[in-house]
Amino acid sequence: MRSRLAFLALSGLITGPLFADETSGEQLYKQQCARCHGVHGEGTEKVPAQLIGDRSLKELTALIDETMPEDDPTKCVGADAEKVAAYIHEAFYSIIAQERNRPARVELSHLTVRQHENAITDILQSFYGESTLDESRGLKAEYYKERRRRKESRVIERNDSQIDFQYAEGTPDPLVDNKEEFSIEWEGSLLAPESGIYDFIVETENGGRFFLNDEETPFIDASVRSGDQKEYTGSMRLLAGRAYRLRLEFFKAKEKTASIRLKWKLPHRPVEVIPQRYLSPQWSPRSFVLNTPFPPDDRSRGYDRGSAVSKEWYEATTAAALETAATVVRDLDRLSKSKPEDGDRSQKVQEFCAKFATRAVRRPIDDAERQFYVTRHFAEGVDVDTATRRAITMILQSPRFLYREVNQGPFDDFDAASWLAFTLWDSIPDQQLLDAAGRGQLKTADQLTRQAERMLQSPKARAKVSDFIVRWLRLDHHQELSKDPQVFPQFTPEIASDLRTSLDLFVDEVIWKRSGDFRELLSSDQLYLNGRLAAVYGADLASDAAFQPVSLPAQSRAGILSHPLLLACLAYERNSSPIHRGVWVSRGLLGRRLKAPPVAVAPLAPDLNPELTTRERVAIQTSPQACQTCHAMVNPLGFTLENFDAIGRFRTEEQGKPIDASGSYISRSGDEAKFATPKEFASYLIASPECHEAFVEQLFHHLAKQPVRAFGNEFLVQRTEAFRSGEFNIRKLLVDLTVQSTLVLQKQPGK
């Protein structure tokens, strides 16, 4: 038979490969793989996980050749493995296939918790007044030579960097010559770097009153001393990116000595004197802060989404509306610019409520909407306060407030204003945006860019970018960072807090004060250190030195990649963790999708293997073939950071053996790169298209709270290319993502 086939082939009667196996990749998949993975890779009871990923075709082929099918890994090898891999990759495995099979779309979503809180604050802020602070820091101080603060007794006016004074038996200055009694008043604003509960401490052996976000009622009253009490405390919830009115009155009477300190405790941080960088000598109006607790947002896709509509969420929105309405009623005359005795008070309050509704729904309301939201509540016989409470509660429970994409019809300029505001601020449009929308000036790229660049100067934009950095680096997963005190006695809560400050200062410097170059985030050999950190991380600074950039080229530092805070978070209490570090690099810097491990495996105990380095232990632990599915990529990436121990200190040996920090990576295109040091790895990342695209994608998801693929198959590619051509400027990228996504929405058909 075979000889006859050969004759026919030689005669030209049969074409194509002689004796070719005509079984296609699809047929092989259905024969050998579908029983476990499903006909379309959807998963089965035996293997529930969907068969999707982002390995290159080369990596997928190697995996199939070595491990599949599970019951007989020798059955699908060589050319068969290549055909099966090609079919899987094209049909449903790769990212391109996933998007083709399940096109993304802009999803209807309600406000996230952060957006809800910011929106309510900004609605009321539009009536209380906006903060307009410059870059000056510290507090305005006035010193008086007697306890009573009279104009004629004021002898000093100056700016104090912070409130931390020990006068002993003397006075603040020779001009304050009365040692028996004197007084001081500090005024300005407090800048909140993150959202949460803040604890404040006024520490004094004398007397004082501390006002915060309230001009009339003291937040902490230390004017009456009980026994030998020296500390007076209070707690308040604050929102990131906001400025809060501050005033501290201090007075000395007959006490022998005098001292005053103003401290705080940030969420998950130790107590410290409030630093100068969080104080402004300028005044800020009152700011409303919502205290209603909300259920957490859905983060299953790596960013907050307002997709879960639950009983708990509905109850929280109702409670938030009621809390806001109660505050409005309590401050109604100030907000509506009316007085109880005014004959037209009801009309003034209704005008206020109508403006409130306009701000809440982010566009002008017509007569019918005014009737629905406001007028009908002010029926005859209903007192003004009750009517106001009902109106505000209804407005804040309206879908047009709670949802971002609820308006029907074409995407108009008011939609554009909302999109810009929620993208850059996580809040509602300000008056400038609404005015521009009303004039039809949010249509072109130039018009949108001008607004976005203006908005980027707001502390709210900086707060949103700061929140992205925290989530990108997964610092929110390690809020209570500690190490084994027997191994790292120097790693105190104060050191952990200083490391967070160090990272914040570095990121702020790169993004906002320098060129904003993303590459510098990964290449800088500098660390921001103070005296306390310098003693731990090998820099020559005085013990009381303030934070400053210190170059450490001998330590092979590479920006955030080797920042001690990140390295300490991605480590165990006593040892480094190449796995945790490799997973973060894979996901955070290279945008790779990793599946959860099939089983939980405890790390090999160092005490049971004292002769092994961490690298050697990890290699043994992850050597089984089932582990290599992910660890073949994760481990070599994590090993590149083994020059840094569990608290991020540089080291050259472990267990008496030289550190091996060599690593490698196979890109999605199948190209392999090798690195010998963290600096070499950072250089690879800086030039890596995968790293560029991963950063753009993750930043967009944080900004827009929508899947990037919903804006077109080429959107991410185009925005990444714009990022490169813009010299990797992060500020330009923020504007570009905001403007270009708005333009895409404008072109979509009516909702």
Predicted confidence (pLDDT) per residue in 564-603, tens digit: 999 999 999 999 999 999 999 999 999 998 876 665 566 6
CB atoms under 10 Å from CB of 386, counted, come to 12
Among 123, 121, 289, residue whose Cα is nearest residue 213 = 289
| 247 located within any domain | yes
Q: Phi and psi dihedrals of 259, rounded to 5? A: -160, 155
Span 659-668, average pLDDT: 93
pLDDT of residue 602: 63
C-alpha count within 13 angstroms, C-beta hemisphere, residue 576: 31
pLDDT of residue 104: 76
Q: How far apart are CA 295 and CA 320, in angstroms?
A: 12
- Shared domain check, 591 and 627: yes
Among 671, 669, 722, 675, residue whose Cα is nearest residue 699 = 722
- Higher-pLDDT residue of 214 and 60 is 214
Q: How far apart are CA 458 and CA 451, in angstroms?
A: 12
Q: How far apart are CA 371 and CA 368, in angstroms?
A: 5
Give the best-scoring range by mean pLDDT among 129-138, 151-160, 718-727: 718-727
- Shared domain check, 274 and 165: yes
Task: For residue 698, name the pLDDT band (cuts at 50, 70, 90).
Answer: very high
Q: How far apart are CA 580 and CA 572, in angstroms?
A: 9
Q: How far apart are CA 252 and CA 262, in angstroms?
A: 16
- Shared domain check, 657 and 610: yes
Q: How far apart are CA 244 and CA 233, in angstroms?
A: 18
- Shared domain check, 276 and 184: yes
User: How far does Cα 470 stand from its chain's mean position?
Assistant: 5
The answer to whether the bond into 218 is cis (omega within 30° of 0) is no
Span 72-96, average pLDDT: 84
- Shared domain check, 167 and 221: yes
- Shared domain check, 645 and 594: yes
Span 58-82, average pLDDT: 85
pLDDT digits (tens, 9 = 90+) for 270-282: 999 999 999 999 9
| 86 located within any domain | yes
Domain end, chosen from 660, 687, 714, is at 687
- Shared domain check, 335 and 256: no
User: How far does Cα 14 stand from its chain's mean position?
Assistant: 64
Q: How far apart are CA 129 and CA 213, in angstroms?
A: 13
Give the best-scoring range by mean pLDDT among 114-123, 124-133, 619-628, 670-679: 114-123
Which DSSP category does 403 fall into?
A: B
Task: For residue 177, name the pLDDT band (cuts at 50, 70, 90).
Answer: confident
Task: For residue 402, name the pLDDT band (cuts at 50, 70, 90).
Answer: very high
E strand intervals along 207-352: 207-212, 220-221, 231-238, 242-252, 258-265, 271-273, 279-280
Q: How far apart are CA 208 and CA 251, in angstroms?
A: 6
Which DSSP category does 369 fall into?
A: H
pLDDT digits (tens, 9 = 90+) for 445-476: 999 999 999 999 999 999 999 999 999 999 99
Q: How far apart are CA 330 and CA 286, in angstroms?
A: 14
3-state secondary structure 457-525: CCHHHHHHHHHHHHHHCCHHHCCCCCCCCCCCCCCCHHHHHHHHHHHHHHHHHHHHHCCCEHHHHHHCC
- Shared domain check, 427 and 376: no
Among 161, 114, 430, 404, residue whose Cα is nearest residue 277 = 161
pLDDT of residue 596: 67
| 334 located within any domain | yes
Give the best-scoring range by mean pLDDT among 137-151, 220-234, 583-597, 730-744: 730-744
- 183: which 2 tokens? 């007084």
pLDDT value at 62 more than 70: yes
| 588 located within any domain | yes
CB atoms under 10 Å from CB of 389, counted, come to 20
Task: For residue 15, name the pLDDT band (cuts at 50, 70, 90).
Answer: very low
pLDDT of residue 53: 80
- Give the structural domain span for 235: 139-280
| 341 located within any domain | yes
- Shared domain check, 148 and 118: no
3-state secondary structure 93-104: HCHHHHHHHCCC
- CA of 210: how far to CAs of 80, 202, 216, 362, 616, in Å? 76, 8, 11, 36, 57
Q: Would you say 356 and 390 are in contact if contact means Cβ atoms under 8 Å apart?
A: no
Q: Is 322 exposed, middle or buried (0-12, 13-18, 19+ CB in 10 A)?
A: middle
- Shared domain check, 214 and 169: yes
- 637: which 2 tokens? 């990436």
Q: How far apart are CA 101 and CA 160, in angstroms?
A: 62
CATH code (residue 221): 3.90.182.10
Q: Is residue 313 helix, strand or coil?
A: helix
Q: Phi and psi dihedrals of 359, rounded to 5? A: -65, -40
CB atoms under 10 Å from CB of 192, counted, come to 24
User: Which residue type sits at 66?
Assistant: E
Q: How far apart are CA 265 and CA 276, in angstroms?
A: 15
| 569 located within any domain | yes
Q: Would you say 649 and 564 are in contact if contact means Cβ atoms under 8 Å apart?
A: yes
Q: Would you say 209 and 223 are in contact if contact means Cβ atoms under 8 Å apart?
A: yes
- CA of 243: how far to CAs of 43, 220, 265, 453, 459, in Å? 51, 19, 17, 21, 9
Task: For residue 604, name the pLDDT band (cuts at 50, 70, 90).
Answer: low
474-503 burial code (b ≥16 CB/10 A, e <16): bbeebeebebeeeebeebbeebbbbbbbbb
- Higher-pLDDT residue of 629 and 136 is 136
Angle 669-698-362 (CA atoms, 0-180°, nearest 5)? Answer: 145
CB atoms under 10 Å from CB of 130, counted, come to 14
The average confidence (pLDDT) of the chain is: 91
Q: How far apart are CA 619 and CA 632, in angstroms?
A: 10
Domain end, chosen from 280, 301, 320, is at 280
pLDDT of residue 290: 97
pLDDT digits (tens, 9 = 90+) for 36-46: 998 888 888 88
DSSP codes of every residue in 627-672:
HHHHHHHHHHHHHTTTTB-TTS-B-SEETTEE----EEEE-TTS-E
- 68: which 2 tokens? 């599949």
Backbone region of residue 458 per phi and psi (left: phi > 0; alpha: psi in -120 to 50; beta: other values): beta
Strand partners, 166: 259
pLDDT of residue 407: 57
- Higher-pLDDT residue of 402 and 632 is 402
Angle 139-140-145 (CA atoms, 0-180°, nearest 5)? Answer: 120
- CA of 405: how far to CAs of 264, 318, 401, 565, 566, in Å? 40, 20, 10, 39, 37
| 736 located within any domain | no
Q: Helix H segments across 244-288? A: none
Question: How many domains, in total, are found in the chain?
Answer: 5
| 225 located within any domain | yes
pLDDT value at 241 more than 50: yes
DSSP codes of every residue in 601-637:
-PPPPGGGSTTS-HHHHHHHHT-SHHHHHHHHHHHHH
pLDDT of residue 597: 66
- Shared domain check, 590 and 535: yes
- 510: which 2 tokens? 């790169």
pLDDT of residue 598: 60
User: Which residue type sits at 95?
Assistant: I
Predicted TM-score (pTM) of this structure: 0.89
Measured torsion, CA atoms of residues 526, 532, 537, 541, in degrees rounded to the nearest 10: 60
pLDDT of residue 343: 87
- Shared domain check, 490 and 426: no
Q: Would you say 452 and 424 are in contact if contact means Cβ atoms under 8 Å apart?
A: yes
Q: How far apart are CA 451 and CA 86, in angstroms?
A: 47
- CA of 581: how far to CAs of 239, 300, 482, 627, in Å? 31, 21, 17, 16
Domain end, chosen from 402, 426, 448, is at 402
